[in-house]
Amino acid sequence: MGLVVQDPNVGRNGAGAAELVVVANRLPVEHDEVEGWRRAPGGLVSAMDAVLRDREATWVGWGGHPADDPDAAAGGPPERVGTVALVEVPLTAAEVTAHYDGFANRALWPNYHSGIVASTYHRSQFQVHREVNARFARAAAGVAAPGAVVWVHDYQLQLVPAMLRQLRPDLRIGFFLHIPFPPLELFSQIPWRVQIVEGLLGADVVGFQTRDAALNFRRAAERFADVALTAEGLAVGRPPRPVVVRAFPIGIRAADFRALAEDADVQRRAKQVRADVGEPDVLLLGVDRLDYTKGIDVRIQAITELLLDGELDPAGTAFIQVAPPTRAKVEEYQQIRAEVELLVSRANGTLGPLGTNPIHYMHQPMPPEELVALYQAADVMLVTPLRDGMNLVAKEFVASRVDGAGALVLSEFTGAAEQMDRAWLVNPHDIEGMKRTILAAIHEPRASAEARMAALRAGVARHDVHWWAEDFLAAVRGAAAVPGEDAGGTDPA
Ligand code: ADQ
């Protein structure tokens, strides 16, 4: 049975004793009908999994099944995974619809991603969102030891820091946003902008993926809250309380990717991948959740045009697009799926003689070994989001290229572009520019291509997920221990 905390004062199994508490919308496990409880996929879980591997911690989150669902997984999530105790915050189906599918994914997500699709704002959804945030705050307050560090994650829980501070002023609270923070003119559209800024300012450290995001938040805080700008962040309220605001660019488990990439079976599989798609002269690859922010459609369009123009030979080119399902209940995600599938079949239907299907589309999750084999098989990796907080795929590709080969085409609008300036940077809104850059990446002489990849690989290895977590946790500990002083930490590369 999982530990279900409904009342913050009623803790069991070590409640009130956790020195490190992670709070995220989802627990790091999900239920599969065949396999039972298993590790949940996704960037956040994969990052925190590595960080918590040898650390005692308590993870507060939703288990993934509505509490009132008659088919809900019997018994709830496990009590522990390795060194991490799991505390489930129960949500009903109606709460999931309003808080997660609704407010988080149809109001916040599109606004924070440059308004690529229009946000919809519903007062009733915000109401539920606030109640759910309060429940997360109470659950965290119930398990944290005196003076503990609480690390709150991502856009679904931005109200938690202030709520938690009110319940437990003794705690040291860090908040990290995995997605972009929008410029003031976009953020200002949100009817609850004041509540969001005040919610975040409850933390001692508010961390972002990029300097731009941190800057955007400082501007929003200046506009919508009682703050003064300081060198390291903000002074909030009266008497002023220091809040560190800066970039902590997330890294990947670089050593794990390198080890997988050196595995003989994975390398054999990489060769097989090329054989499976007909031993092309050029193999292009895209790997993204099927999300409208990822620019999958513009990428397919650019490649299709190159194939139609004869700039790329349909008989000698293969493009693999991996796009696992995500948020399938949200209408905009059904639309992007339909659009991508139409573009793929239209391109394959138009190009070349019978047997020529240059675009290979895989709408399925896959294990890390298979992803690394794909990364190794590719000549050019295409990461072309219209907006992305960081983008771990770009870093995973680079870390997997232990052979020193491969080229990365990367959108300027990813957080990764701030660190990976040796990649082939593109503006995904500019199809012609993207086509030119893809061709340049394909035809770059080997020596300069390898020099680029070597520089990129060194950066990804140095600024890995452990560097990120240590930097963030040091800032949270430092911020509370020495009020008013710079939290230190490393300057983000
Ligand atoms: P995401 O939007 O999910 O993450 P990303 O950073 O690329 O985007 O992470 C996706 C993860 O899913 C990668 O680790 C990748 O390996 C994995 N993945 C992709 N396809 C898969 C498949 N078919 N099967 C299994 N796994 C697959 C959010 C933000 C990002 C930010 C991360 C972390 O939107 O900007 O980089 O959080 O902070």
DSSP-assigned letters across all residues of 166-228:
HH-TTSEEEEE-SS----HHHHTTSTTHHHHHHHHTTSSEEEESSHHHHHHHHHHHHHHSSEE
Note whether 186 and 289 are same-domain residues: no
| CATH code, domain carrying 382 | 3.40.50.2000
| Atom 8 in ligand 1: residue holding the nearest Cα | 391
Q: Rounded to 5 degrees, what are φ and ψ at 425? A: -80, 140
Note whether 184 and 245 are same-domain residues: yes
Note whether 239 and 308 are same-domain residues: no
Per-residue pLDDT at 480: 56
pLDDT at 115 over 60: yes
- Of the residues 372, 392, 418, 472, which should be mutated to test ligand 1's pocket, given the most ligand atoms within 8 Å of the CB? 392
Q: Is residue 491 part of a domain?
A: no
- Residue 14's pLDDT band, with cuts at 50, 70 and 90, is very low
- Residue 72's pLDDT band, with cuts at 50, 70 and 90, is low
Overall average pLDDT of the 34-63 stretch: 90
Q: Is residue 486 part of a domain?
A: no
- Of the residues 285, 391, 472, which should be mutated to test ligand 1's pocket, given the most ligand atoms within 8 Å of the CB? 391
**DSSP structural state of residue 482:** S
Per-residue pLDDT at 448: 97
Q: Is residue 492 part of a domain?
A: no
- 26, burial (CB in 10 Å: exposed 0-12, middle 13-18, buried 19+): buried
Query: Token pair for residue 49?
Result: 């999994």
Spacing, Cα 396 to ligand 1 middle (Å): 10
Per-residue pLDDT at 32: 83
| Atom 10 in ligand 1: residue holding the nearest Cα | 43
- Residue 86's pLDDT band, with cuts at 50, 70 and 90, is very high
pLDDT at 483 over 50: no
Q: Is residue 173 part of a domain?
A: yes
Spacing, Cα 287 to ligand 1 middle (Å): 9
Note whether 179 and 326 are same-domain residues: no
pLDDT at 118 over 70: yes
Q: Say which residue, 50 or 432, is predicted with more confidence.
A: 432
Q: Is the dihedral of CA 64, 67, 68, 74 positive or negative?
A: positive
Range of the domain at 415: 254-462
Buried b (16+ CB within 10 A) or exposed e, 31-62: beeeeebeebebbbbbbbbbbbeeeebbbbbb
Q: Is the pTM of this model over 0.85?
A: yes
**Axis-axis angle for helices 43-51, 392-400 (nearest 10):** 60
User: Given the structure tokens 């956790």, which residue do they identify?
Assistant: 18
Note whether 104 and 200 are same-domain residues: yes
Per-residue pLDDT at 487: 36
Note whether 285 and 339 are same-domain residues: yes
Which element (helix H / strand E) includes 380? strand 380-383
pLDDT at 43 over 60: yes
Compute the distance between CA of residue 481 and CA of residue 346 in angstroms, rounded to an integer: 60
Overall average pLDDT of the 301-328 stretch: 95
Note whether 198 and 73 are same-domain residues: yes
The answer to whether 11 touches 77, Cβ cutoff 8 Å, is no
Spacing, Cα 12 to ligand 1 middle (Å): 34
pLDDT at 335 over 70: yes
Q: Is residue 429 part of a domain?
A: yes
pLDDT at 11 over 90: no
**Between vectors from CA 326 to CA 320 and to CA 332, what angle results, nearest 5°?**
100
Note whether 223 and 326 are same-domain residues: no
Q: Is residue 487 part of a domain?
A: no
Note whether 262 and 130 are same-domain residues: no
- 264, burial (CB in 10 Å: exposed 0-12, middle 13-18, buried 19+): exposed
List 382's β-bridge partners, or say none: 409
Give per-residue pLDDT as tens, 225-255. Answer: 999 999 889 999 999 999 999 999 999 999 9
Which residues are near ligand 1 (CB < 6 Å)? 41-44, 46, 178-179, 250, 287, 289, 322, 324, 365-366, 371, 388-393, 396
Note whether 305 and 229 are same-domain residues: no
The answer to whether 410 touches 417, Cβ cutoff 8 Å, is yes
- Reduced to 3 states (helix: H, G, I; strand: E, B; else coil), residue 45 is helix
Note whether 240 and 142 are same-domain residues: yes
Number of domains in the chain: 2
Q: Say which residue, 481 or 120, is predicted with more confidence.
A: 120
Q: Is residue 488 part of a domain?
A: no
Which of 153-167, 269-283, 288-302, 351-365 has the least mean pLDDT? 351-365
Q: Rounded to 5 degrees, what are φ and ψ at 424? A: -80, 100
Note whether 266 and 367 are same-domain residues: yes
Give per-residue pLDDT as tens, 145-197. Answer: 999 999 999 999 999 999 999 999 999 999 999 999 999 999 999 999 999 99
Percent of the chain whose predicted confidence (pLDDT) is above 70: 93
The pLDDT mean for the chain works out to: 92
Q: Is residue 340 part of a domain?
A: yes
Query: Token pair for residue 165?
Result: 């501070």
DSSP code string of 274-316 = HHHTT--SEEEEEE--S-GGG-HHHHHHHHHHHHHHTSS-TTT
**Between vectors from CA 389 to CA 99 and to CA 460, what angle results, nearest 5°?**
135
